Amino acid sequence: MPDHKMPPTLRFMLAARRCELQGLESLSVTCELVTRISQLVHQLQKERGYSNVYLGNQTDRYLHHLDAHSAGSAAVEREVHDFFESMDIAQANTADRARLFNRIAYVLHGFEELPGLRRRIRERHLSPRQATQAFTRLIGGLLAVVFEAADTAVDPGITRVLVALFNFMQGKELAGQERAVGVEGFSRGYFDDELQARLLHLQEGQERCFDIFGEFADTAANALWQQILSTDTVAQVISLRGVAKRTSVEAQIDPGLCEPWFELNTLRIDAMKQVESHLTQRLLERCRRSIAEAHADLDNHRALLGRVTQMDAGSDQALLFSVHSSTLDVPPQDAVGNHLARSVLDLLHEQNQRLQQVSDELQETRETLNERKLIERAKKLLMNDYHLSEEDAYARLRQSAMERSMRLVDVAQSLLTFAARKGQEKPRSDKTRRG
């Protein structure tokens, strides 16, 4: 039976299922974008690393490698740019994706600045730290796109993979930043208090990201990660971390350690890409499976509802489609000529239960993302109010959490609540003074 000939109750049930399917199909496009962003982030991380050692080395020794990685980044960048351009920004659910599109706009602006950045690096018009910061801003924008994708996903299983992927990518990015900070310290033979604090901040950040990744990732991804952690490469990186921690102006070391530090961390980051690739493949597989299941379910619903409408006719129709005759949770009790009513209400009850389960699972999964938002907002508040660096702002939050025996997210929430109340009270006091 064509959909338009079905009674209104059945048509709206099918419409609800089609909305879910459309949401999944839109999410599939976003997941494809995420896989491409993963590739681009990896390329930019490599380009950033070689830009760093090229600028710090003061020779052309690494120029060939830098040129190769720049070309690799540019190729993937064009693919991502073309994918952005192919996205339907006029789709019906655009309002739900406003933050995602805004993040994409920021990234596109960053793409426009890349040629100038590369030119200034080769002309040595930037310090290693300045070049690192420029690449880090763009990579941060790309990671924000992945975060928004996870935050707007409509499927609990896909959301779990996205949360695992985002946190692993974030941890891998912090590992890349640690590599850059290490190059800066080892190349001059010691780490001052500032560099020591930055290294500690980046190492702790990695631990947090990888812990969350482990919570949401599948068994295979966790096993792959544990294999990497047990390698000699990681053991040597940890050893060099200890060397860096023991240095000072008075206890300097051979700057030649810069090269093994860079190479070992590069091997570590390249190994991480294996886990990242596994997660992106898992993401695409999960999208395809969810869409196939939704298509099959929609077809089954349509066929079943078509049969149901033919089971009964005539006088039953008026009763069956009276909104007030029954509830969704309790099927009708009379068994006389009421097969259609029971069938329809059973379907409604089943669909309601499934949607509620999806909502509950999404809420549970997104709790991690919401906690991250609160902590980031609290850090920005401290950075703005007290002119702190990101590292110092986080350290202050962490210290407060330890002193008060509270979770970090609870301290962040308390700080934001206090700031909001303070902001509300200030206008009233101003008004009182004017009076």
Residue 165's Cβ-side half-sphere holds a number of Cα atoms within 13 Å equal to: 33
**Cβ atoms 263, 291 nearer than 8 A:** no
Length reported for the chain:
435
Measure the CA–CA gap between 151 and 362, rounded to whole angstroms: 9
Residue 58, sorted as left (phi over 0), alpha (psi -120 to 50) or beta, turns out to be left
Measure the CA–CA gap between 430 and 182, rounded to whole angstroms: 50
Measure the CA–CA gap between 131 and 129, rounded to whole angstroms: 5
pLDDT tens readout for residues 283-333: 999 888 888 887 777 776 666 566 555 554 443 443 333 333 334 444 444
pLDDT tens readout for residues 271-292: 999 999 999 999 999 888 888 8
pLDDT confidence band for 198 (50 / 70 / 90): very high
Measure the CA–CA gap between 150 and 318, rounded to whole angstroms: 45
Measure the CA–CA gap between 228 and 171, rounded to whole angstroms: 14
Give the tokens for residue 31: 């997941």
pLDDT tens readout for residues 29-43: 888 999 999 999 999
Measure the CA–CA gap between 294 and 301, rounded to whole angstroms: 10
pLDDT confidence band for 131 (50 / 70 / 90): very high
Measure the CA–CA gap between 364 and 110, rounded to whole angstroms: 34
Give the tokens for residue 339: 């097969």
Measure the CA–CA gap between 178 and 210, rounded to whole angstroms: 15
With CA atoms as reference, report the closest residue to 150 among 170, 136, 134, 135.
Answer: 170
Sign of the CA dihedral running 105, 167, 153, 43 = positive
Q: How many CB atoms lie within 10 A of CB 300?
A: 11
Q: How far apart are the first and last CA of the chain?
A: 72
pLDDT confidence band for 16 (50 / 70 / 90): confident
Helix 193-216 / helix 339-386 crossing angle, nearest 10 deg: 170
b/e sequence 206-220, b meaning 16+ C-beta within 10 Å: bebbbebbeebbeee
Give the tokens for residue 169: 């990518």
Measure the CA–CA gap between 148 and 101, rounded to whole angstroms: 9
Residue 189, sorted as left (phi over 0), alpha (psi -120 to 50) or beta, turns out to be left
Measure the CA–CA gap between 48 and 313, rounded to whole angstroms: 71
Amino acid at 80: V
pLDDT tens readout for residues 243-274: 999 999 999 999 999 999 999 999 999 999 99
Measure the CA–CA gap between 326 and 9, rounded to whole angstroms: 13
- pLDDT for 429 equals 46
Q: Residue 29, exposed/middle/buried by CB under 10 A (0-12, 13-18, 19+)?
A: middle
- pLDDT for 6 equals 61
Distances (CA, A) of 230 to 90, 219, 225: 48, 17, 9
Measure the CA–CA gap between 219 and 278, rounded to whole angstroms: 11
Write the DSSP string, 48-105: HHHHHHHHHH-SSTTHHHHHHHHHHHHHHHHHHHHHHHHS-TTSTTGGGGHHHHHHHH
With CA atoms as reference, report the closest residue to 39 among 277, 287, 283.
Answer: 277
Where do the domains of the chain lie? 3-292
The residue assigned the tokens 């350290």 is 395
Measure the CA–CA gap between 233 and 241, rounded to whole angstroms: 12
pLDDT tens readout for residues 85-124: 998 776 645 556 788 889 999 999 999 999 999 999 999 9
Measure the CA–CA gap between 412 and 378, rounded to whole angstroms: 5
Amino acid at 190: Y
The residue assigned the tokens 């420029």 is 134
| Mean of pLDDT over the chain | 82
Q: How many CB atoms lie within 10 A of CB 361?
A: 15
Amino acid at 61: R
> Between these two residues, 5 and 170, which has the higher pLDDT value?
170
Query: What angle is formed at CA 284 by the lines to CA 281 and CA 286, rounded to 5 degrees?
Result: 105
